[in-house]
Structure 1
Amino acid sequence: MMTLSQISARMGALVTAAALSATLLFAAPQAHAAANNSYYKAELAQPTTAKPELLRSVYVRCEGTSCRAPIASTAPKNMCVSIAREFGAVTAFTAGERVFTAEEIAACNGDNAKAIAKN
């Protein structure tokens, strides 16, 4: 037979485990969603006041010279080209952990951007 203190200890452990599970259940998806909102990151040469724009099936939001968008089913180079066309010259671009080189950024901004977007 269990004593009252043993029952209390087990109930305390159960309540703690339930609280921790509930926290992880709600916090983990929110952290994942927050991370998804900034998979693509672009820095613009000039600030923009443009409203969020639907580009390549995701909304791109810009504030000043910083633009952010969640992951999309498009190649990073195509997203870079789309952002440059819609919001202006891009000076830096990342897709997840991938940082674009100076040559890739020039291609986003260049005359050959249409050809790159089709590839």
Structure 2
Amino acid sequence: MMTLSQISARMGALAAASALSATLLFAAPQAHAATNGSYYKAELAQPTTAKPKLLRSVFVKCEGTSCRAPLASTAPKNMCISIAREFGEVSAFTAGERVFTAEEVAACNSDNAKAVAKN
């Protein structure tokens, strides 16, 4: 048989776990929503006036030389190539905290040029 202090300790642990779960349930989606509009960030070599386009299941919006898009279920390299194909040469690209190297950006533009040549 459990004593009153054991029951009290278990109830306290249950309350703490419930509070933590509720915090994660509401705080985590809010944190994701705050960054939802700009997970992918691309700088273009030339300004564009193109309207937002659906690429890889998300809308990419560009203003001048800056393009932004929320997180998509695609590899960052594929998003970079798609942006280069639709909006022009990319000069810088980030996916979340990952900053593409100059070589990776060049590969995005190169893969885009190969795709355009095939068509």
The TM-score normalised by the length of structure 2 is: 0.68
Structure 2 residues without counterparts, runs of 5 or longer: 1-25
Per-residue deviation, 1:33 = 1.8
Question: How many residues of Structure 1 are paired with residues of Structure 2 in the alignment?
Answer: 90
Cα distance per residue 1:12-70 (max 9 Å; x no partner): xxxxxxxxxxxxx6x97555323111000000001111110000000000011000000
The TM-score normalised by the length of structure 1 is: 0.68
Structure 1 counterpart SS, 2:61: strand
Structure 1 residues without counterparts, runs of 5 or longer: 1-24
- Residue 80 (structure 1) aligns with: 80
Structure 2 counterpart SS, 1:73: coil
Aligned AA (2:102): A
- Residue 96 (structure 1) aligns with: 96
Is 1:54 paired with 2:54?
yes
Aligned AA (1:81): I
Is 1:66 paired with 2:69?
no
- Residue 23 (structure 2) aligns with: none
Runs of 4+ with deviation above 2 angstroms: 27-32, 112-115
Structure 1 counterpart SS, 2:74: coil
Structure 2 counterpart SS, 1:68: strand
- Residue 33 (structure 2) aligns with: 33
Structure 2 counterpart SS, 1:63: strand
Distance (Å, rounded) in 1 between the aligned partners of 2:82 and 2:103: 17
